[in-house]
Every structure is written in structure tokens, then in C-alpha cells.
Amino acid sequence: MKSFMIYGANGYTGKLITEYALSRGLHPIVAGRSKSDINNLASQRNLEARVFSLGGNISAHLKGVGLVLNCAGPFSATARMMIDACVKSGVDYLDITGEIAVFEAAASRHNELVKSGIMVMPGVAFDVVPSDSISAHMKRRMPDATELTLSFKALDNSLASASRGTSNTLMEAVGIGNKARRSGKIKTVPFKSDTHWVDFGRFGKGKVSGLPWGDISTAYYTTGIPNITTYMDIPFIARFLYRAGNYFPGFWQSRAIQAYLKWIVSFFPEGPNPKANNSASATILAEARNSSGKVIRSILHTPGGYRLTTLSAVAIIERVLAGERQAGFVTPAGLFGPDMVLELDGVSREDLT
């Protein structure tokens, strides 16, 4: 079996994935830019360590590696450089992003990636493995679907339930505008008063708002459905900031304001504690519609975001190391199908209509 690397293994999510990989009998190379953190982690777990930043000769640090899982976000700042190095070194690439721009950038390189022979699969995490899987399920149920709506409900939707890295990514979106796919194209739409209640069946109701989830990109490549909208029950403060970003977006995207927002995030806890992780859950409602107006609804219930990310990332690592791979840009459900997610502990699916 080829060696694989977890870059950003010292971050909150990176450590969770590393620990779970070890419990599955895997022995990743742990890597990152913090010498003390990475060496301490490697020493504690008897693993190989590689310390490097993404500004130098990354390829020199990928020798003997067949697969990289990038856990160092925001991925808008790290994915391109790591993918460039993977292309140069012939190494498959995974990450745990949920950023639309990262998916789109990788998709635009598909022909280059096929030619190089490597696979690039961003989003092997809560965003987008479960939602990509239920999107593929909806396409299977309704092959002529023209519209897809995904609504997300978390048991705990407070900012305290997010890691610092996730919170930083959320802050980067303030002032950019919401996204939706219309007629196959990604469009920027304002964050507006589209908050509404959604019935999640036996999992209760949730108050959701438009949010630029990664599926605006990936669900299109997986299903070909041309019109995609995503909603989530985001915290009030996040909803307020996103709507404020409709006004003077340049102000919110300025270096000084982004630095200030991230300074605030630096006071947040590193991430939820183990008890909160193990008790958290999430529900995704998928609705598909065809040109005749017929609507179908399915629901996917999962463990909380960080637990699901841990399970899905390691499951995909195991599959890729076993040879389940395809050169080019691929999505999780595009390669593994709509039912792979059901193999993960605590995941269930139900067709409502």
C-alpha cells in the first residue's frame, strides 16, 4: 500500500482524522508548517513527520507519497499550491474544503489532471460527501430533474460548534455574496430575506437561509442538474454579517476588515469538545423538480460535521489506497456513487415523497 500524507495534521480537524486513521490501522505521514506541533504529534503517535510551508519546493517533501489529504484551510490559500505540487510529483490529492472557488478551480484543470494521471477530489468531508451522495440519489430517482434544492439542519448551529478554521472560511465569504447555479452557470445573488422554515420530517423543522454551500459546484458535476440552490440553519450572527455584506462589499473584503474578523475568530475555542462532537448530528433535505413540476423529497441523517468528516475522509483514503481512483477532477459521489455514504456509521437515508 502506498504511503499517504495528512497535511495540516496539527489542526483541529487534521488531528481528528489522524487519530481515526490510526484506529483503522493506517499510519499517515503527518505534515504541516508548525515544526513543534507536527514533531510532537509524530512523536506521540510514532509517525513520520515532515515540516514545510506551501511557499517553497513542496514537491521535495512529497517523495515516496502516493496520496495527500490537505486539511490546512482556508483552502483558497492552500489548495492550488498543493495541487500544483501533486501534479508535478504524480500524487493523488484530497482535501476537506467546502469552498466553491476551490472546487471550480480544480474542475477547470480536469484535462491537465487527466494528462498528468493524478486524481483530484476536493471535499471529502461533511461538505460535500453526504450532500453530494444525496444529490446523486435524487438524480437516480428523477433522471430528468432540472432543479435541486439542498437544505441543511444541524443539532447545534452556533459558531461555538465550528473550528477556528471553519469560522475563518465563513468570514472570508462576508461581502462576496451568495451563490446559486442557474442554467448550468454559477451566479452571484445577494443575501436577502429568504429565511424560511423547512420540514425535515421526523427530525423536526429548521429555519434556513441561503448559503453558498460547496454543492453549488459539485452537485452539478455529479448530476448535471442545471439549477441548484442551497440553504442552511446558520447562526444569527453569521446571517447578519452575510446580509451586511450586501452593502459595501469592498469594505467587508478589505484586508483590514478581514484581518479584524479573523482576529475575533482567534478567541474562539479550537473546536467543539469530544462530547459535543459525539452527540452532534445533522440532517440534509433534498428536493428535486422536473420540467413538468413533479417534486420528490429525500432526507439524509448523519453524525455532526466533524464526526462525519473524520469517517468520510478516512473511508475515502482507504478506497483510494486500495485502487479506487480515476484520473482528473472527480467528486465523491461521482466516483463512489450515491450509496457509499450509507456505509459510514450513523448515516441513514429516507425517501419522503
CATH of the domain at 108: 3.40.50.720
Which residue from 211, 238, 99 is spatially nearest to 152, judged by alpha carbons?
A: 211
Residue 167 included in any domain:
yes
CA distance 216 to 252: 23
Tell me the three cell numbers of residue 11.
Answer: 489542526
Residue 269 included in any domain:
yes
The single-letter DSSP state of residue 121 is E
C-alpha distances (whole Å) from 95 to each of 301, 314, 337 are 23, 11, 19
The Cβ of residue 178 has, within 10 Å, a number of other Cβ atoms equal to 23
pLDDT tens-digit readout, 229-262: 999 887 777 777 777 777 778 888 888 988 888 8
pLDDT of the residue at 291:
98
User: Which stretch of 88-97, 186-195, 258-267 has the lowest confidence by average pLDDT?
Assistant: 186-195
- Co-location of 147 and 103 in the same domain: no
- Structural domain containing residue 18: 3-124+307-335
- Co-location of 238 and 89 in the same domain: no
Q: How many domains does the chain have?
A: 2
The answer to whether the CB of 272 falls within 8 A of the CB of 129 is no
Kindly indicate the confidence band of residue 47, based on its pLDDT and cuts at 50, 70 and 90: very high
pLDDT tens-digit readout, 277-330: 777 899 999 999 999 999 999 999 999 999 999 999 999 999 999 999 999 999
pLDDT tens-digit readout, 166-184: 777 777 777 777 899 999 9
Full DSSP string of 248-312 = SHHHHTSHHHHHHHHHHHTTS-SS--HHHHHH-EEEEEEEEEETT--EEEEEEEEE-HHHHHHHH
Residue 343 included in any domain:
no
